[in-house]
């Protein structure tokens, strides 16, 4: 068994589904079920004995100690995080609590548990920390992509909190010997994505004939990684990664935000035409957010060179699968759009 934190969120739910399908190994899934945690994403595992869900918080040390003692996982995959930059600007305290204090608490629980394992189990144990390329800051147009040796220069409360968690993980390895692995991924997209992030928000708004808000000139560049490719990379790193090392996971898909929005509109025009005209008519430029990083780009050659991993999806294949998934899962989308979600969209965009 492995323990996955945040396994009801976007990346976490996809990871749990992918892990069980690919390996057959059981997962103990710990999630606080905050606004983006959605057990409906895991409905296919409702009667599967390989999935054990626990509603709880990674800052709860007694709970962590009990779960580790009872279930004896051979690894921890730490996905749980507050992850939306705009939310971190409006309310940074939650990001410090979950991403910094939560990671610290989990590391301390893992260290105590690992220290009590038998020799063979202790040698095989791993703590895999899932992080983001945003810790590296922003790149200029001509700069080389981020490598694992790039200096940390976080520019938002979110990225600063993730950078802090990365540093804690590194320190617990070098100080205490905890066998850790860290992966820093680029922008994920795909099924089960809460509709506040760019791609699902554009899909949901376009289908409702609502404005498609694009920050500033829309020329902010991101590298896009299909979430199931990310999950496959995590499996490879957990299985064969070198303890103490960091691996960047990217999709080799650098694209400006406005191109992403236009691509989504074109796919919707094809798959769900609107009698009123092209969905691109809904594109609305809004005031940029404070401290908006201009460009992220991931150099994932280390992961390919050392572990043989490359993404299976191009952006063209991945975005088509993503749009189709949202069209085919209208019930999931409708249920996730709770009053709290609508309040958040109003808070974030009404003044722009």
Nearest to 255 by CA among 300, 212, 301, 220: 220
* Annotation says 158 is catalytic: yes
* Annotation says 134 is catalytic: yes
Tell me which of 18, 57, 134, 229 is the catalytic residue.
Answer: 134
Contact present, 188 and 230 (Cβ < 8 Å)? yes
Q: What is the token pair recorded at 332? A: 């999931």
Tell me which of 136, 158, 189, 215 is the catalytic residue.
Answer: 158
- What are the C-alpha distances in Å from 64 to residues 97, 104, 169, 211? 16, 12, 17, 43
> In sequence order, what are the residues at sequence separation of 6 or more whose Cβ sits closer than 8 angstroms to the Cβ of residue 209?
274, 276, 282
Q: How far apart are CA 48 and CA 190, in angstroms?
A: 23
- What are the C-alpha distances in Å from 125 to residues 78, 79, 180? 14, 17, 9
Q: What is the token pair recorded at 329? A: 């899962």
Tell me which of 133, 196, 236, 313 is the catalytic residue.
Answer: 133
Q: Is 26 exposed, middle or buried (0-12, 13-18, 19+ CB in 10 A)?
A: middle
Please report where in the chains the tokens 């920390």 appear, as a residue. 129
Nearest to 22 by CA among 229, 329, 246, 185: 229
- Catalytic sites, residue numbers: 133-134, 158
């Amino acid at each position: 068994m492995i323990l996955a934190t945040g396994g009801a969120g976007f990346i976490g739910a996809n990871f749990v589904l992918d892990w069980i399908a690919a390996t057959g190994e059981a997962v103990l899934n710990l999630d606080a079920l905050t606004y983006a945690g959605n057990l409906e994403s895991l409905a296919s595992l409702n009667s599967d004995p390989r999935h054990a869900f626990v509603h709880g918080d990674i800052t709860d040390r007694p709970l962590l100690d009990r779960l580790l003692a009872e279930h004896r996982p051979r690894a921890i995959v730490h996905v749980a995080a507050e992850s939306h930059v705009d939310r971190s600007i409006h309310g940074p305290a939650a990001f410090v609590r979950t991403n910094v204090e939560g990671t610290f608490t989990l590391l301390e629980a893992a260290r105590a548990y690992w220290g009590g394992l038998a020799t063979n189990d202790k040698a095989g144990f791993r703590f895999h920390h899932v992080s983001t390329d945003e810790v590296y800051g922003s790149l200029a147009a001509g700069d080389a992509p981020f490598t694992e040796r790039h200096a940390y220069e976080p520019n938002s409360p979110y990225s600063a909190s993730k950078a802090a968690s990365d540093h804690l993980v590194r320190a617990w390895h070098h100080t205490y010997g905890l066998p850790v692995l860290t992966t820093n991924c680029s922008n994920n997209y795909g099924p089960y994505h809460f509709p506040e992030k760019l791609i699902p928000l554009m899909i949901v708004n376009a289908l409702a004939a609502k404005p498609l808000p694009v920050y500033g000139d829309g020329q902010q560049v991101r590298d896009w990684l299909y979430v199931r490719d990310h999950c496959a990379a995590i499996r490879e790193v957990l299985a064969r990664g070198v303890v103490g090392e960091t691996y960047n996971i990217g999709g080799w898909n650098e694209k400006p935000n406005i191109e992403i929005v236009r691509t989504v509109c074109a796919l919707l025009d094809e798959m769900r035409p609107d009698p009123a005209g092209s969905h691109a008519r809904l594109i609305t430029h809004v005031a940029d957010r404070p401290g908006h990083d201009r460009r992220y780009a991931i150099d994932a050659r280390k992961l390919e060179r050392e572990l043989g991993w490359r993404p299976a999806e191009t952006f063209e294949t991945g975005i088509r699968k993503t749009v189709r998934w949202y069209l085919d899962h209208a019930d999931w989308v409708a249920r996730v759009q709770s009053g709290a979600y609508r309040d958040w969209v109003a808070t974030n965009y009404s003044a722009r």
